[in-house]
Structure 1
Amino acid sequence: MFQGRSPSMHMLLVARRGQARDRIVAELTRLGAACDVAETPGELLRAARCRRYNGVLFDVPTLVREKQFDKRVLQRLAEIYPSARLKYDPGTDTVFALGADAGPPSRDGLSVFTAACRDFLPRSLRRGERVEANLPAVLWRAPPAGDGGEKTCTVNVSYLGCFLFTTASWEIGQDAWVVFPDVSDVPVRTRVAWHEAWALRRSVPGVGLAFLEMPEVLFTELGQLGCEADEMDIACPGKAL
């Protein structure tokens, strides 16, 4: 979710919906910082990989109550970006910030943190590099059941996804399942992130698929092909992307 605009600063906030989140976003806007909000682990990783940020903010009650957040991922984010933990006090309508760049808890903590982030070069998470590899694959539009599917192969692969040759029509955002028979008979759930139509231009037609899960056997195979994990994969190898 995108909130606000700023020509010079952009923050990533981990917070669930509610009054606290609204007040934090309002304070960041007042301080001249735009803000993207992530309330699920999937939103968090997608945001960090797709946009450059000056800093990351964590709403403490969200982290305490939302158990699905992987603590190793949160710790890795705190190591990569300037970060602060926030807590909103509705009684005084104050957002308190605590962290190495925010100083001790105070009414000025968020402004101190935001000021410190201005000197941080905005960055996104490094994506795993694509490796040219032709893995046999069977592409499905629904969970595999019996025979069927389109027999094809990969053009390139990475820990985040793959590009499959196909002349079929696909829509971005559409779910797909892929079986890599040389690796495992277990279908891997994916989502279409890119579609290159046949004869549209001088390029290979096909679909770019983002892995929504990463079986350990596939993770190992991609490593043997030369794929390198991105910064978040280093924190939690083999877990779902």
Structure 2
Amino acid sequence: MNQALIQGADGGFAPSEIVYIPEGEHAIRPTVDGKPGDVVVRLSPQRGHEVAAAFQRDLSRRQGENVRPILDFDHRASGAAAGLPKSFSYRPGVGIVLAVDWTNAGRVAVEGRDYSYFSPEFLLDEDGTPAGLPSRGSIGSLVNNPAFRSMPRIAAADAGGGNETPEQTFTRRASALVAAGEVQTMGEGYSRVAAADPSLYERYCESLQPASERAEQAQRVKAAEEANQEVERRALALVQSGEAASLDDGVNKVFRRDSALYMAYCERFEG
């Protein structure tokens, strides 16, 4: 069965966790017993922890066997492993989550955007509730043809950072570059991350601003937006009443009549 996994991003990292089965009811058309078949998968919030526990029991059993459980590529059942499953858990509102230890081949495939989705292999009860893992073979594959079409993809650049501050994410990614030997110092790592992800760098810089200054700036922005709306409202009224020939003419008349509003309006162009 296929489900959306991740979308690689330039400079991104493969996530340490993936959504194995999404919460809710999903009608999909996977391969069942070697043939295409229509299946409805049902994972209710009420049974989420129970299902995750069953999957963890099966995984622990298989991890104790001589042949390790793996994630592979395109359900080939042979060749390189994409990752090693570590543990299952249930996350309310998300579904069954699998912690993954990526192999080199899997990490390159994800971060290089060669593969964008994950296809789990699991057993189903008669009512469509996920029941556990197969007794042998891969427990899922990296693929590019998902069946769970409604599942949102998780950006690789955000992996492992769901609860991180921008500063923590920035530092983690710079540290990874140093650890991999791609740069020699943290300073070089910071520069590389900033160049690869300007949005993260901007959030990082904003996080260094004191909370009081951020609140004050937010208030200024809100006041400027409200002033802009008020100017447009008054200018449109002047046009509709025939006092102004155009919207621009109306704006100019509003400014001449209300200097305080003009100053507030100009705030939106500052800083």
TM-score by length of 1: 0.23
User: Which structure shows the bigger proportion of residues in helix conformation?
Assistant: 2
